[in-house]
Structure 1
């Protein structure tokens, strides 16, 4: 997949395209179907399949003080989009000037002049342009005027409820990571560099942990989780704690993962933690011995959870060989 940040990056490279456009936060099941439909339509008409998305998220520009934590940062969003087959991803910088464009001005400048769009696929609730005036009906009218077709994907549902970024965000923040999986099509994950922590895990407790330098915005509810830990393209069972370590009087959020049956030196490495199921709340223990005993129980529970067939992880990133 070609990732372009400006139209000039792909100038004269596209003779005709099928475009889907959106924010794609989380690249969830609804987004996946949208991208796959655009790709299949492009192939059927011998067009280039293009996903158009934005960085930063429009809400961050228009309502900077009231934005929710986003499910995927830009790097992961692009990585996930690439899995579903588009030939081009146009990552446009969203600005207040762009927000002032009418639907027709945006379509003309970016999609017709820039991408030679012949077909447009949008989500059931997507709007574009100033005042969100560009809905399915107005875009269809523009299509009749400018010579492109518009199709709209029906809502994608899981458990009789529409899949949405808001629903996923609420589940993750409630610690219901297992319930978020069918909406995402994968376990929720965070990524970070392994940094030196307080050095209590191995020396004091006997359970060494990988402490992550946090870059993601959305984190599950504090507590202990069964997780898969991905290190250098290999996946290991693990148990992770999210919280402030109340037994030791910390006050800053941390993510620490104990990787089962692992002894490598991974300081400075980037790892991914995939959250499978919540084991318990974070709590303050009366002392080191009580905490160590509970960690032992957590590890046993984590191993049992991750050994179940339904907890298996499948990594489909292009750079993953496992």
Structure 2
């Protein structure tokens, strides 16, 4: 997948395109179906399949003081988008000037003149342009004027509820990470650099931990989780604690992952943590012996959870660390 950050980077090489457009936070099952349909239609008509999305997320610009934590930041979102087959990702900088464009101005500038759009696929609730004035009917009228067709995908439902970024965000924040997998098609994941912590895990407790420098915005409810961890291309079992470590009186949120049967030096490395299932709440213990006994039990429960067939990890990025081509 080619990633272009301006329309000028690609407009001269696209003779015709099938476009889908959106914020794609989480790149969940609904987004995946939308992208798959765009790719299918593009192939049938010998067009270029293009995903148009934005950086920063429009809410960051329009209401910066009231934005939720996002499921996927730009780097991870683009990496995930690349796994579902589009030939081009147009990653547009969202600005107040763009927000002021009418639906027709946006469509004419970016889709018609820029991408030579012949077909457009949108989600059931997608709007664009100033005041979100551009809906399915508006786009159909513009399609008739500028010579492209428009199709709208019905909502994707799982367990009788619509798959949405809001639903996923609420589940993650409630700690229901197991329930998120069907909606994402993968376990919820975060990525971060391993940094030096308080040096308590191995020396004091006998359970060394990888302390992550927090980069992502959305984290599960504080507590202990069974995890898979990707370390330098290897996938390892683990147990992670998210929280403030109340036994030690911390006041800064941390993510500490104990990787089972692993003893390598990974300081400075980026690792990816996949949250499989919540084991328990974070709690304050009455001393080190009680804490160590509970951690040992957490490790055993983590092994049991990860041994279940339905807990197997399905990686959506076989070339870990290899990003898409950027123009």
| 1:215-238 superposed Cα distances (whole Å, 9 cap, x missing partner) | 000000000000001101110100
Question: Hey, what does 1:25 align to over in structure 2?
Answer: 25
Question: Hey, what does 2:203 align to over in structure 1?
Answer: 203
Secondary structure of the residue aligned to 2:34 is helix
| 1:11-66 superposed Cα distances (whole Å, 9 cap, x missing partner) | 31100000000000000000000001000000000000000000000000000000
TM-score (norm 2): 0.97
Q: Which runs of 4+ in 1 moved over 4 A?
A: none
Residues 1:215 and 2:215 are matched in the alignment: yes
Question: Hey, what does 1:187 align to over in structure 2?
Answer: 187
Structure number with higher relative contact order (C-alpha < 8 Å, ≥ 6 residues apart): 2
Contact map agreement 1:231 1:271 (CA 8 A) in 2: yes
Contact map agreement 1:194 1:270 (CA 8 A) in 2: yes
Distance in 2 (alpha carbons) for counterparts of 1:155 and 1:206: 49
Secondary structure of the residue aligned to 1:238 is strand
Contact map agreement 2:80 2:316 (CA 8 A) in 1: no
Distance in 1 (alpha carbons) for counterparts of 2:235 and 2:259: 10
Question: Hey, what does 1:116 align to over in structure 2?
Answer: 116
Which structure 2 residue ranges, 5 or more long, are not aligned? 322-327
Measured after TM superposition, the shift of residue 316 of structure 1 is 2.5
Distance in 2 (alpha carbons) for counterparts of 1:292 and 1:159: 39
Distance in 1 (alpha carbons) for counterparts of 2:316 and 2:194: 23
Question: Hey, what does 2:178 align to over in structure 1?
Answer: 178
Question: Hey, what does 1:139 align to over in structure 2?
Answer: 139
Distance in 2 (alpha carbons) for counterparts of 1:141 and 1:320: 43
Distance in 2 (alpha carbons) for counterparts of 1:184 and 1:215: 20
Question: Hey, what does 2:271 align to over in structure 1?
Answer: 271
Question: Hey, what does 1:107 align to over in structure 2?
Answer: 107
Contact map agreement 1:83 1:318 (CA 8 A) in 2: no
Distance in 2 (alpha carbons) for counterparts of 1:120 and 1:233: 37
Distance in 2 (alpha carbons) for counterparts of 1:312 and 1:72: 22
After superposition, where does 1:171-320 map in structure 2 within 5 Å? 171-320=171-320
Specify whether residues 145 and 11 from structure 1 end up closer, same or farther in structure 2 by C-alpha distance, changes over 3 A only.
Answer: closer
| 1:74-105 superposed Cα distances (whole Å, 9 cap, x missing partner) | 00000000000000000000000000000000
Distance in 1 (alpha carbons) for counterparts of 2:83 and 2:318: 7
Question: Hey, what does 1:125 align to over in structure 2?
Answer: 125
Contact map agreement 1:177 1:188 (CA 8 A) in 2: yes
Secondary structure of the residue aligned to 2:104 is helix
Secondary structure of the residue aligned to 1:51 is strand
Distance in 2 (alpha carbons) for counterparts of 1:320 and 1:5: 23
Measured after TM superposition, the shift of residue 318 of structure 1 is 4.3
Q: CA RMSD of the aligned region, Å?
A: 0.8
Distance in 2 (alpha carbons) for counterparts of 1:63 and 1:131: 13
| 1:187-220 superposed Cα distances (whole Å, 9 cap, x missing partner) | 0011000000000000000000000000000000
Distance in 1 (alpha carbons) for counterparts of 2:5 and 2:154: 29
Measured after TM superposition, the shift of residue 320 of structure 1 is 4.1
Contact map agreement 2:192 2:212 (CA 8 A) in 1: yes
Distance in 2 (alpha carbons) for counterparts of 1:101 and 1:319: 38
Distance in 1 (alpha carbons) for counterparts of 2:114 and 2:316: 31
Distance in 2 (alpha carbons) for counterparts of 1:124 and 1:230: 35
After superposition, where does 1:31-70 map in structure 2 within 5 Å? 31-70=31-70
| 1:142-195 superposed Cα distances (whole Å, 9 cap, x missing partner) | 101111000000000010000000000000000000001100110001100000
- Give the number of equivalent residue pairs: 321
